[in-house]
Amino acid sequence: MRQRVNSDNAPATIGPYSQAVITNGLVFTAGQVAINPATHKLVEGGIEEQTRQVLVNLQAVLQAAGTSLGNVVKTTVYLTYMGNFSAMNAVYAQYFKAEPPPARSTVQVGDLPLGAMIEIDCIATVQGE
């Protein structure tokens, strides 16, 4: 059985996909870019500001799923420029403080929606699992 997750505190989906899906005790999120859900626009600033907004968006989706960043077991980070890795990593570390930290893959991509510099998706356990 699969359960759709929706949060009004994260950007609405723009296609035939869910913000997240819960199945078998796991939450699988869609990728989040740095869209401010209040303005529906990409946040201003550089990689630090975009990383922060992406993680705030992921927090909102995870909260709607009944879990949190502390229960994330795997993330995938997509960067349009690998030279932003260190700056992204510094902000990322502020949000993922649990030990052990989640497993992570980071890849460089050619382009992201709306000209975003970063996108992150994750897999988390349901709270208490």
pLDDT score of 14: 83
CATH number (domain holding residue 41): 3.30.1330.40
Cis peptide before 37 (omega within 30 of 0): no
Domain range for residue 43?
Answer: 3-125
pLDDT score of 128: 58
Which stretches of the chain score pLDDT less than 70?
Answer: 128-129
Cβ-proximal residues to 62 (8 Å cutoff; 6+ apart), any chain: 20, 27, 29, 68, 69, 71, 72, 122, 124
Cβ-proximal residues to 86 (8 Å cutoff; 6+ apart), any chain: none
pLDDT score of 15: 87
Note the pTM of the prediction, 2 decimals.
0.95
Number of structural domains, the chain? 1
